[in-house]
Amino acid sequence: MMDRAALQVILLGMFLMSATSDPVKKKKNVDIYSFYINSTVTSRYATTVITSRVANTLNESQEIQFEVKIPKNAFISKFRMTIEGKTYDGVVKEKEAAQQQYNQAVSRGQSAGLVKSVGRTLEDFKTSVTVSAFSKVTFELTYEELLKRRLGKYELLINAQPMQPVADFKIDVHIQEKPGISFLEVKGDLSTGDLANAIKTTRADKDFQVWVTFYPTQDQQTKCKSCGENGLNGDLLITYDVERQNPKGEIMVSKGYFVHYFAPSDVPRISKNVVFIIDRSGSMSGRKIKQTRLALLKILSDLDEDDHFGLITFDSEVSLWKRELLRATEANLENAKSFVKEIRDRGATDINAAVLAGVDMINRHPREGTASILILLTDGDPTTGETNIEKIMSNVKKAIGNKFPLYCLGFGYDVNFDFLTKMSLENSGVARRIYEDSDADLQLQGFYEEVAVPLLTDIQLKYPGGTNLTKTSFSLYFNGSEIVVSGQITDNSVESFTTEVIAVSKGSNVTYQDTIMTKDPSDVPPENENFMQRLWAYLTVKQLLDRQVLLKGQEKEDEKKEALKLSLKYQFVTTLTSMVVTKPQEGEVEVANKPKEGKGGDGYTADVDSDDDDSAFASFSVINHHPAQRAFLLHSDAMDYSDAMDYSVMIHHPLPTYGSPTIHTTTPPAVQVHSNRFLLPVVGQSKPLCFDVPLPHKLRLLQDSASEFSMNGESLSENHGFHQIAIHYKTNHHLIISTKSISYHNGQDKVEILWGQELTQHNTDGVSLVVLENEMNVTMGNIGVVIISHKKDGVKFLWPAIWEHPKDVNLTGVLGKSDISYVKTEGSQTPTLKMKDKEVKTYLETVSDYRFHSTPVQECWLVPFQAVMEAEISDFTVTQL
C-alpha cells in the first residue's frame, strides 16, 4: 500500500512566472483503459466531465500523468482522483494561504515550475500521481461554462488527446434547449475522414433535445488527420442555434432563479458610423501590416451603402484619410481601398492622439438613428505623445462620454493587453487578441462581422420582482449575438414573472414586455435542476471580475469579496480561488493557476481578466516540505475539510478488508444509512454475499455492450435505494424512471407515465414496458429488468433487479456480476471467506432484499466491494444517467 501522507494540489487563480516545459514524453507500461468525456448543455449552460481511468502495468510504482485541455472561458468546479479505493476530492479555497505557502517554498529554492501555452481557445490542466505496481487510478475533472452566441451560433468545443489509443473511448454530448434546436453541426479535427463514421446524432422531443455520441474504435483513433500511434489529437466542435419565434426572448424560471435570453431578429438593421484606427508604427512591419491591409480591404467591401466610415492611421503622427465620415458609396470605398493599400509601417506609437482623433471624427458628424463604433488595432504600448496609461484612459473616457463603444484589438503578444482591456471596458466595449498567425486577417474580419450589423442601441432590461441581477444595461445589440440576464426572484410564491426591455431602434423607442407563469412544470431533468442557480453564479462572477478591473478603493474590495464568496460557494476555480486536493504522496505541493490574458507568451501575465479570457498559459509547481511543515499542512487540511462532505471517508466503509493475516477485525459498528447494500446470490451456498456502496452515487448498474443496453442509477445522501434510474437501448431508446414518474423517448415520440395508474403497457421496436401500481417490467432486446417502487420512513425510492437475460450474454455493471464463488474458512477467530485465492475477512449481517415488494430480511456475508467486483467503485460510476 502506498504512503497516505499528504500532498496538496493547489489550483490557483493567478499566474506564476516559470519556464516553459518540454513536451511530456509518452509513458510506457501505462494503460489508459477508459476515457470518457460527458457534456450536458442545458439552456446554453454546459457542464463537462472528463474521466480517465489508467492502469500501471509495471511491477513497480510509477508516476502517472493526467493532462487535458479545457476552454479558456470555463471554470473548473471539481477535480477528483480515486486510487486503491480511496477518493481524493478537491476543495476550492481562497488562494491567499496557498500562495503564501508557495512563496515560502520558492524562497527556499524548492519549486520546479512548468508552464504550457496551448493556443487561442484552450487552457492546459495537468497533474500527476504515483501509482503502485499493477494498480489503477481514476481522474475526474469537471468544468462549467455559459456558451456565448457569436455570428448566430453557439459553439461547444471539446478537446481529446489521451496520448494513446483507448479501448473504451467515448464522448457523449446531450443538448437540451426549451425553444427547440434550429440547426446543429459537428465539425473539428475529430469529425474528419474515417472518424466521421464514429459520430452519431439523435434528435428527440421535436428537436428540444439532441444527443451527439463519438465512439471511435482503437483502429479509427490512429487513422484520422491529426492522429497517429499516440491516438486521438484534436477537437470536436459542436455548433448550434435555437428557434427564436418569440422576439421578446426566452425566459426560464427554476427554484427561485431566472434567466432571460434576449436576441430579437425581427428589427431593421441600424446604419452605423465606424472609424478604424490603425497602428502603422515600426513594430507592425512585415506580415502584420500586410494582413491588416488584407483585412481592411475585405471589411470595406462588406460595408453597407447607408453606413458611414472613417480611416485613421497613426505612428508618432496621426493621419486621417478624410477629416469627416463618408458614406460607403462605391466611389468612396474604392478611394479608401487605395489609401489602405499604401499604409506602410514607420515610427513610434501615439495611441492617445489617434483614439482622440477618432472620437472627434464621430462627435463632429452626429447622425440621428445610427450606431457609432470605434475600432482600434495596435500591437504595442504607447511610446510617444501621452504615454501615461492612466491619463490616456481618462482622456478617452471623457471624450467618448458613454456615447458609443470602443473596441480594442491587440495584435500579438507585445501589446499591453491589460491597458487595452481596461480602456475598452471603460467605454462599453471589449478587447480581443489577434494572434500572429497566417489567418490574422481572417481573425480581424471575424471580429468585424460580429459588430457589423447593429440592431438596437441603449438597451435597458427591467425585472420587477427580481434581485441580485447580472448586467442589465447594454449600449448595443448586434445581429447574431445575444443578451443574457440572470437573477433571483424575490418572492417564490408569485405565480407570474414579468420582463421588460426598452431600447432604441433607428432613433425610436421600442419596448418588449413578456410575462410567464412561474408555476409551470419545469422541463429541466432532475439531474440538471440546479443549473440555473449555477448559471447565475457563473455569469455574476464573470461580470464581477470584469468590473473589478475598473474600480478602485473600497468599491473594488467589495466587488472582489462578493466574487470570492460566490467562487467559494459554487467551488469555481477563478482568479481569486485555489483548489486543494490531498493525494497519497509525501512531501510535494503542486500549484496550478487559472491563467489570465497576459503581455508575453512565455512567462508573464497581467492582473486583468478580460471578457474573452483569451489566455494561453497554465502553470504548476512541485514543492518539497520538511516534516514539520508537512504535519502542519495535514492539520490545516483536517480543519478545512470539516465542513465539507468527506467522500473518501465514505469509501472506506468500516468493514474488514482482505489481505495480511495480521489484520484483525473487532465487533462491527452499527450500520447507518450511508450506503446501498447489494445482495449477490452464490451458487451452492446457502448464504449470499452482500456489499455496500456509499451514498450518494451514480452507478453503472447493468450493461451489455453487444446489444447496446445500459442501466444507470442515482442515489441521494441518507436515502435508501435510487431516486432515479435511466435505461438506454441502442441510440434512440431512452427510459427515465424517477420516484414520481416515468418518461420514455424512442427518438420521435415521448410517453409520460405516472406511478399509481392502472395497468399501462407500451410495445414498440423490441421494447416492452409494463407498469403496474408499484412495479415496472422493462424488456429491451433480450434483456429484462424489473424496477420496484418502495416507500420507507415516508420516503419513496426505487430498486432494480434482473429477471431475464440469455446465458451467453456478457453482462457488466454492479448487478452484472455472476461468476462469483466462495468457501468459508474454518478455525479462524474472525470469519473469513476464500474468494479467488484470497482470504477475505467478513462478518454476518442482515439485509432487506428490496428486489421484492415484501422486502424479506435475510443473512449475508458482508465483504468489501473490491473483493467482489475485483475493481474500484470508481470503475462503476457514471457522470450522467
* Separation between Cα atoms, residue 70 and residue 256, nearest integer Å: 30
**pLDDT recorded at residue 111:** 32
Residues 111-149 pLDDT 10s: 322 323 345 677 878 777 888 888 999 999 999 999 999
DSSP string, 533-587: HHHHHHHHHHHHHHHHTT--HHHHHHHHHHHHHHHHHTT-B-TTEEEEEEEE-SS
Q: How far apart are the first and last CA of the chain?
A: 33
What SS3 state is found at 75? strand
Does residue 645 form part of some domain? no
* Separation between Cα atoms, residue 178 and residue 181, nearest integer Å: 8
Domain that holds residue 546: 250-266+457-570
Residues 526-582 pLDDT 10s: 556 688 999 999 999 999 998 888 888 888 899 999 999 999 999 998 888 877 766
Cα three-residue angle 215-221-222, rounded to 5 degrees: 165
Residues 254 and 227 in one domain: no
Determine how many CB atoms are found less than 10 A away from the CB of residue 713: 28
Does the CA dihedral 265-267-271-272 come out positive or negative?
negative
Does residue 786 form part of some domain? yes
Max CA distance (Å), the chain:
103
Domain end marker among 526, 552, 570: 570
**CATH number for the domain that contains residue 285:** 3.40.50.410
**pLDDT recorded at residue 660:** 30
* Separation between Cα atoms, residue 273 and residue 397, nearest integer Å: 19
Residues 368 and 514 in one domain: no
In this predicted structure, the answer to whether residue 615 has a pLDDT above a threshold of 50 is no
Does residue 714 form part of some domain? yes
Q: Which helix (H) or strand (E) holds 695?
A: none
Residues 298 and 404 in one domain: yes
pTM equals 0.66
Residues 338 and 254 in one domain: no
Does residue 142 form part of some domain? yes
Residues 175 and 214 in one domain: yes
Cβ proximity of 506 and 480 under 8 Å: no
Domain end marker among 546, 570, 594: 570
Does residue 478 form part of some domain? yes
DSSP string, 588-629: -EEEEE-----S-SSS---S---SS----EEEEEEE---HHH
**CATH number for the domain that contains residue 57:** 2.60.40
> Cell 511530456, residue?
24
Domain end marker among 549, 570, 591: 570
Cβ proximity of 288 and 411 under 8 Å: yes
Does residue 439 form part of some domain? yes
Does residue 364 form part of some domain? yes
Does residue 556 form part of some domain? yes
Q: Nine-digit cell at 264?
A: 430579437
In this predicted structure, the answer to whether residue 669 has a pLDDT above a threshold of 50 is no
Residues 550 and 695 in one domain: no
Residues 431 and 534 in one domain: no
Specify burial of residue 471 (Cβ count, 10 A radius: 0-12, 13-18, 19+). Answer: middle
Q: Share the mean pLDDT of the chain.
A: 80
Residues 392 and 351 in one domain: yes
Residues 475 and 437 in one domain: no
Residue 432 half-sphere exposure toward CB, CA atoms < 13 A: 19
Residues 231 and 262 in one domain: no
In this predicted structure, the answer to whether residue 58 has a pLDDT above a threshold of 60 is yes
Residues 385-433 pLDDT 10s: 999 999 999 999 999 999 999 999 998 877 888 899 999 999 999 999 8
**pLDDT recorded at residue 100:** 55
- Report the range of poorest mean pLDDT among 122-126, 213-217, 248-252, 285-289: 122-126
Which residues, listed in sequence order, are joined to residue 497 by a DSSP beta bridge?
516
Residues 228 and 311 in one domain: no
Residues 520 and 374 in one domain: no
Number of domains composing the chain: 4
